[in-house]
Chains A and B, each alone.
Chain A
Amino acid sequence: MLGAPAVPLLWYQMLAAILFTIGVVGVLVRRSALVIFMSIELMLNAVNLSFVAFSRQYGSMDGHVFVFFVMAVAAAEVAIGLAIIVAIFRNRETASVDDVHLLKG
């Protein structure tokens, strides 16, 4: 049997909110596609933290399963995204999202 948590759920949620916001800032203000991807990983991890904290709170393992799925999706996303970045870099010699604006019209 495990005892009651010493740290309230609220703190974990605040930490998740802070990390998610830092990730949002990274996606919105950075120019390098690589750093934008890292910021997306940051956001995914903030959500994972939220899942695990709620899982602990409700005493159910379902949150852990969701974290497992998020990790699988993140791995797929990183593989595809980095392949796209490599393909763009090979053709345009740049990894900056401000230089890749063919779809902008």
Chain B
Amino acid sequence: MLEALLFAMFAGTAIGCALGVVFHRNPVHCALLLVGVLLNLAGIFILLHAQFVAALQVIVYAGAIMVLFLFVVMLLNVKGETPLLTPGAAKFFGFLFALIVFVEMLWTVLQPGGDAGAPAAQAPLPAEFGSPAALGRVLYTVWLYPFEITSILLLVAVVGAVVLAKRKFI
């Protein structure tokens, strides 16, 4: 009961903040509302016994990535867009395609044999489920090569960001 109540609270706040991200005029407010979405999702992760992922979400996403966003928003000092949304037919088709995507996803989720046919939750999860130790054990054995490739990806991203942000590039 408490879990369902917490889920409803987190989900409602997350959806409200997400709508704010998309429809708020000021990019700084958008970024702060996105932090709200991320924190609420971290709460939902804890409900799902993913404590370590929740901590990563708060530290890496709401901390590091959003600071980068806010830094750039304030560096560029972009004025609020005067027509908030893209004008003309593009707006209409944007909403239409988004609606189609939503209906498709909902149809997939609600389909019998889809989620409804998923096996019942493994009730006796191991006590260490979601802990850093359990994640590390999987990450450094089964997923070792993807992990190493990720480090190369991050290195490339760092070099690319430095090169792109250099003056007189474009």
Q: Write the residues of chain A forming the contact surface with B, with a CB cutoff of 8 angstroms.
A: 1-7, 9-15, 17-26, 28-32, 34-35, 37-39, 41-42, 45, 48-49, 52-59, 61-62, 64-65, 67-69, 71-80, 82-91, 95-96, 98
Contact = CB atoms under 8 A, between A and B. Distances in A.
Contacts of A76: 153-154, 156-157
Interface string B24-38: 000100110010011
A46 to B, nearest CB: 9
Contacts, number: 263
Contacts of A37: 69
Given A42-B18, A61-B135, 4 more contacts: A11-B7, A12-B44, A72-B150, A73-B153
Contact of B27 (A32, A42, A87, A89): A32
A38 B34 contact: yes
B65 A68 contact: no
B101 A38 contact: no
B69 A34 contact: yes
A77 B153 CA distance: 10
Contact of B97 (A24, A55, A69, A88): A24
A45 B50 contact: no
B119 A57 contact: yes
Given A11-B7, A22-B22, A4 B157 contact: no
A22 B18 contact: yes
User: What band does the interface of chain B fall in when counting residues whose beta carbon is under 8 Å from A?
Assistant: 35 or more
Contacts of B38: 45
Interface of B is mostly: helix
A5 B123 CA distance: 8
B48 A55 contact: yes
Contact of A62 (B115, B138, B164): B138
B22 A39 contact: yes
Contact of A19 (B18, B73, B101, B109): B18
Interface string B59-95: 0110011001100110110100101111100110111
Contact of A56 (B49, B57, B157, B160): B49
Given A29-B95, A42-B37, A18 B15 contact: yes
Contact of B19 (A22, A61, A78, A88): A22
